[in-house]
Chain A
Amino acid sequence: MNPEVPNPNRVLVIDDSEPIHKLIIVHLKREGLEVTGEMDGQAGIERAIADKPDLILLDIDLPDVDGFEVCRRLKENPATRDLPIIFLTGTDSTDSKVRGLDLGAVDYVTKPFDQVELRARVRAALRTKRLQDILEQQSFLDGLTGLWNRAYLDRRLESELNVARRYERPLGLVLVDIDHFKLVNDRFGHLFGDVVLQGVADAMRAQARRSDMVARYGGEEFAVLLTESSLRAAVYVSERLRASIEGRSFAARGESVGVTASLGIACTDDLPGEITAEELFNAADTALYAAKDAGRNCSFLNDRGCLSQVDSAEAGSLPARRHSD
């Protein structure tokens, strides 16, 4: 759940020579890297799209499409555009080195390569990849709360829906909106409002599993994306969250201030057919509006378009989800 940037360590080798693959595997294993390989350009492109490796070692002379063309296609595709590429060149010609670098490669290694040099160039490329990963992650974080932001929620919602469809697993979404947040801001000031937002973020982090994703997607709006969660499990999380937010108090000008939140729940299991990210989001949003209309500080669930209020006592008796996974 908490954002962490792992060390990039997955290398894809695209080369038509078996002996070159074996050599690279021996050399890069010494760096603790995971190496996968493909023997031609087309297979390499497909593998890059599917695996999103941290680094691609790309031969120029390939039997089908040449390395320059593979590079061009990888740089054209938004899914693979940012993957660093090191060219493996069989020639010492300046032209081909320059052409490779201009196509977006980060470096080149001339074959036959010296293993010490190969390893150093790979290490250098992966160091830069890590910085790139950190920067990318920063752009998906909410500065105030440290939770994921709207852009990341949209992206993850899409990818988790794909996973949920492929493996036929349910995906739950809980939307959380702090009640009368504008009044809190007006009465106690925006700095206090920020403290409340941070407190609600802490409550959400505390209630989520590692595999759940928590985001702040608007001013006082939060979301929890629950992977492999049935509607029942989502209801349970929602009620725990609601109670946990209600139970917090914030000190403002010597008085103790509490806030409540309204929550809307939807789950792919309980929506008909192949649903889109937008449909899942709208289903939870409709439930959230129903919770507001019903007087706030409650959870509503959207079960195939049928809205109903969650009974706190009943939800509390549901079996707890494992926190270990």
Chain B
Amino acid sequence: MEPIRSVYEDDPDMLEIVREFAAELPDKVAELERCLEAGDLAQLQTLAHQLKGAGGGYGFSPITEQAASLEHALKEGQDATVLKDRTRALCEVLRAIEVPE
């Protein structure tokens, strides 16, 4: 996947918190994967919901889109295959996030 950059990276006030946000993402990926494996769907939904709300605000609209799609699947009670696909898609987006030094 192509690197994903924040639309706010040229805004000095924003850049600092965008970096902090991006630094937390590896932990989010680990937690998403853990929840999926453990079948902790409630926590998975909370994570998806929070990423949906914050991603676009930090200038990463693909995070919001993928997280919304996962949240939607969870709310609809979709089967394990769909949840697995969408969680993986979200994690892929999170891994592609890149912030300039």
Q: Which A residues are within 8 Å of any B CB, using their own CB?
A: 16-17, 19-20, 22-23, 26, 29-30, 61, 88, 90, 111-113, 115
Contact = CB atoms under 8 A, between A and B. Distances in A.
Given A30-B13, A112-B64, A23 B58 contact: yes
A112 B57 contact: yes
Listed from nearest, the 9 A-B pairs whose CB atoms lie closest are A112-B56, A111-B53, A19-B54, A112-B57, A22-B17, A23-B57, A17-B50, A90-B53, A112-B64
A26 B21 CA distance: 13
A26 B14 CA distance: 7
Interface of B: 13-14, 17, 20-21, 24, 49-50, 52-58, 61, 64
Which one of B24, B56, B64 has the highest number of Cβ atoms from chain A below 10 Å of its Cβ? B56
A19 B14 contact: no
A124 B53 CA distance: 23
Nearest to B63: A112
A20 B49 contact: no
A29 B17 CA distance: 14
A112 B66 CA distance: 13
29 contacts: A17-B50, A17-B53, A19-B17, A19-B24, A19-B50, A19-B54, A19-B58, A20-B57, A22-B17, A23-B17, A23-B54, A23-B57, A23-B58, A26-B13, A26-B17, A29-B13, A90-B53, A111-B52, A111-B53, A111-B54, A111-B57, A112-B52, A112-B53, A112-B54, A112-B55, A112-B57, A112-B61, A113-B56, A115-B57
Contact of A61 (B49, B55, B56): B49
Contacts of B13: 26, 29-30
